[in-house]
Amino acid sequence: MNRRSFITTAGAAVAGSILVPSTSSAAFAVGLELPALPYAPAALEPHIDALTMTIHHDKHHAGYVTKLGDALKAANLNTDNVAELIADISTLPVDQQTAIRNNGGGHVNHTWFWQWMAPAGSGPAAPEGKLAEAIQSSFGSIEDMKKAFGDAAAKRFGSGWAWLIKKADGKLAIVSTPNQDNPLMKGVVPDSDLGAPVLGLDVWEHAYYLHYQNKRPDYVAAWWNVVNWKQAAACFEGA
Ligand code: MN3
């Protein structure tokens, strides 16, 4: 049963909240709770400072979780995977679609974002294995991929994200999205930009302004030092 028919059928049958079933892979599963940071707030210094990490996680991410909970309650929905829920916003109750798109997107993107970073030197400094091969095949070299990713991050006007994604044909691509949208959101993101996230970078000013002020390219350049390539490989292979 697809999700739309599940919602329709279950909605007709029960008055309680509706559990939207999860079908996506475990690498992308996101529950309804605020996850703890997988490292101490200072662990990414000097590239990302502790105060930025603390405010980003404890205030911004926590705010998305709270507001998502409010929107789901208002929509009479429940889910065990928010990533699945936001993959087709058009199937959700119309009056909560914007709130779920923004806050569900914010929750999912940040949950992944924390995992896509790790203290410098704690893992491989560059992609390895199948992910490295795919990057070479799609972009020519790791450096070319980083340059294209950095361009996407720099050119995103205002708030948003830069992404390395795996498309349905298995090829890698770089895209960017505004606000808290992400490349799994059908009908929100252009079809050409849809794909499974392998790596994503928050380029909202709240992610870097305390330390880097207006110098977004400096933040992007520093961020490569704390990319968790093991997690990126897991996302690539699990997609
Ligand atoms: Mn953010």
Other C-beta atoms closer than 10 Å to the C-beta of 171 total 12
Q: Which amino acid is at 114?
A: W
Residues 154 and 219 in one domain: yes
Express each pLDDT in 30-56 by its tens digit. Answer: 999 999 999 999 999 999 999 999 999
Gap from CA of 2 to ligand 1 centroid (Å): 32
CA distance linking residue 180 with residue 207, whole number of Å:
13
User: Is residue 185 a part of any domain in this protein?
Assistant: yes
Q: Which amino acid is at 127?
A: P
Mean pLDDT of all residues belonging to the chain: 90
Gap from CA of 226 to ligand 1 centroid (Å): 16
**Percent with pLDDT over 90 in the chain:** 87
Gap from CA of 60 to ligand 1 centroid (Å): 6
Gap from CA of 92 to ligand 1 centroid (Å): 24
User: Is residue 122 a part of any domain in this protein?
Assistant: no
Average pLDDT over residues 47-73: 98
CA distance linking residue 171 with residue 139, whole number of Å:
10
Q: Which amino acid is at 44?
A: L
Looking at residue 117, its pLDDT comes to 98
User: Is residue 124 a part of any domain in this protein?
Assistant: no
Read out DSSP for 124-171? -SS--HHHHHHHHHHHSSHHHHHHHHHHHHHHS-SSEEEEEEE-TTS-
Helix 105-115 vs helix 62-75: angle between axes, to the nearest 10 degrees? Answer: 140
Gap from CA of 106 to ligand 1 centroid (Å): 7
Return contacts of 93-97, CB within 8 angstroms, 24+ apart. 96/71, 96/72
Residues 140 and 220 in one domain: yes
Gap from CA of 9 to ligand 1 centroid (Å): 36
- The CATH number given to whatever domain includes residue 197 is 3.55.40.20
Looking at residue 17, its pLDDT comes to 57
Express each pLDDT in 77-128 by its tens digit. Answer: 999 999 999 999 999 999 999 999 999 999 999 999 999 999 999 999 999 9
Residues 7 and 106 in one domain: yes
Residues 142 and 108 in one domain: no
Gap from CA of 205 to ligand 1 centroid (Å): 8
- 183-204 b/e with 16+ CB inside 10 Å = b? bbbeebbeeebbbbbbbbbbbb
Residues 14 and 59 in one domain: yes
Residues 160 and 217 in one domain: yes
Gap from CA of 64 to ligand 1 centroid (Å): 10
Q: Which amino acid is at 79?
A: T
Gap from CA of 149 to ligand 1 centroid (Å): 18
Gap from CA of 114 to ligand 1 centroid (Å): 10
**Percent with pLDDT over 70 in the chain:** 89
Residues 149 and 103 in one domain: no
Gap from CA of 110 to ligand 1 centroid (Å): 6
Gap from CA of 62 to ligand 1 centroid (Å): 11
pTM of the model: 0.90
Residues 7 and 104 in one domain: yes
Average pLDDT over residues 73-78: 96
Looking at residue 163, its pLDDT comes to 98
Residues 165 and 135 in one domain: yes
- Residues whose CB is under 5 A from ligand 1 (ion)? 202, 204, 207
CA distance linking residue 143 with residue 222, whole number of Å:
14
With H, G, I as helix, E, B as strand and everything else as coil, classify residue 228: coil
Looking at residue 1, its pLDDT comes to 37
Looking at residue 188, its pLDDT comes to 94
Residue 2 clears pLDDT 70, i.e. is over it: no
49's CB contacts (< 8 A; 6+ apart) are 42, 210, 211
User: Is residue 207 a part of any domain in this protein?
Assistant: yes
Among 20-29, 73-82, 100-109, 213-222, name the one with the lowest average pLDDT.
20-29
pLDDT band at 219 (very low <50, low <70, confident <90, very high): very high
Gap from CA of 189 to ligand 1 centroid (Å): 19
- Tally of structural domains, the chain: 2
Tokens of 230: 């093991």
pLDDT band at 239 (very low <50, low <70, confident <90, very high): confident
Residues 26 and 97 in one domain: yes
Domain containing 197 equals 129-238
**The last residue of a domain, from among 115, 139, 161:** 115
Residues 8 and 99 in one domain: yes
Gap from CA of 180 to ligand 1 centroid (Å): 8
Express each pLDDT in 196-209 by its tens digit. Answer: 999 999 999 999 99
217's CB contacts (< 8 A; 6+ apart) are 150, 153, 154
Q: Which amino acid is at 131?
A: L
CA distance linking residue 154 with residue 137, whole number of Å:
24
Residue 5 clears pLDDT 50, i.e. is over it: no
**The last residue of a domain, from among 115, 137, 153:** 115
Looking at residue 18, its pLDDT comes to 59
